[in-house]
């Protein structure tokens, strides 16, 4: 039996209270298992820290562990709901770019249906006089452009989810898109190589 494709679960949930994080991740992993896929959370590591280990060293070790997890995955689903500002969590955005840079497809969802410009105040310039992009996208054009070019897709909620940062319906849309993407790749791969 073939090993299930591994899907990295990027998003701000790692910052939620532990019980809230566990509940959301458990549901994501359950939905992926139903589709024959394996969910991989950034906290699925065996890291242990010494009491005297400096915080920057701890941070770098977390980065390395998460990078290794991403390297072991075939695709990514990112929660791009704005977090601590008008855009997605910056660590999540890095993870999207990292996976795309490896040639892996990235899929995402957001529970904020407003366009980026609307969240930025709908003005041509911000309070410092800097231009505000206006491309009719849900987030910065580099995020959406990268997802699209990777073969992925960004799904935007039309209605609130069961949690302000999670909707099983929207997550299922990502899973279905991954399944279609993988089927397309399988059909395009020749059985015999010359």
Could you write out the three-class secondary structure of the chain?
CCCCCEEEEECHHHHCCHHHHHHHHHHHHHHHHHCCCEEECCCCCCCCCCCCCCHHHHHHHHHHHHHHHHHCCCEEEEECCCCCCCCCCHHHHHHHHHHHHCCCCEEEEECCCCCHHHHCCCCCECCCCCECCCCCCCCCHHHHHHHHHCCCCEEECCCCCCECCECHHHHHHHHHHHHHHHHHHHHHCCCCCC
Residue 53 lies in a domain: no
Residue 135 lies in a domain: yes
Residue 50 lies in a domain: no
CATH number for the domain spanning 150: value is 3.40.50.450
**Alpha carbon distances (Å) from 48 to 8, 43, 61:** 21, 12, 10
Count of the separate structural domains present in the chain: 1
Residue 91 lies in a domain: yes
The parent domain of residue 157 ranges over 6-40+72-188
Residue 116 lies in a domain: yes
pLDDT of residue 2: 67
Residue 89 lies in a domain: yes
pLDDT of residue 188: 58
pLDDT of residue 183: 80
pLDDT of residue 104: 97
pLDDT of residue 193: 43
Nearest C-alpha neighbor of 41 from the set 1, 69, 72: 69
Q: Which regions of the chain are under pLDDT 70?
A: 1-2, 185-194
pLDDT of residue 186: 65
């Amino acid at each position: 039996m073939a090993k299930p494709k591994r899907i990295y679960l990027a998003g701000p949930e790692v910052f939620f209270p532990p019980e809230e994080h566990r509940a959301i991740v458990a549901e994501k992993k359950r939905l992926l298992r139903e589709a024959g896929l394996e969910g991989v959370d950034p906290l699925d590591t065996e890291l242990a820290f010494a009491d005297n280990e400096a915080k920057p060293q701890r941070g770098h070790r977390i980065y390395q562990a998460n990078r290794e997890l991403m390297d072991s995955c075939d695709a990514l689903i990112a929660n791009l709901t704005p977090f601590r500002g008008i855009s997605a969590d910056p660590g999540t955005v890095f993870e999207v770019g990292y996976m795309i840079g490896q040639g892996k497809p990235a899929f995402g969802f957001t529970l904020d249906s407003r366009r980026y410009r609307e969240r930025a105040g709908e003005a041509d310039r911000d309070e410092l006089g800097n231009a505000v992009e206006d491309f009719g996208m849900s987030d910065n054009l580099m995020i959406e452009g990268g997802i699209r070019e990777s073969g992925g897709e960004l799904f935007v909620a039309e209605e609130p989810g069961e949690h302000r940062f999670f909707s099983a319906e929207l997550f299922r849309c990502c899973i279905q898109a991954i399944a279609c993407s993988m089927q397309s790749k399988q059909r395009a791969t020749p059985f015999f190589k010359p």
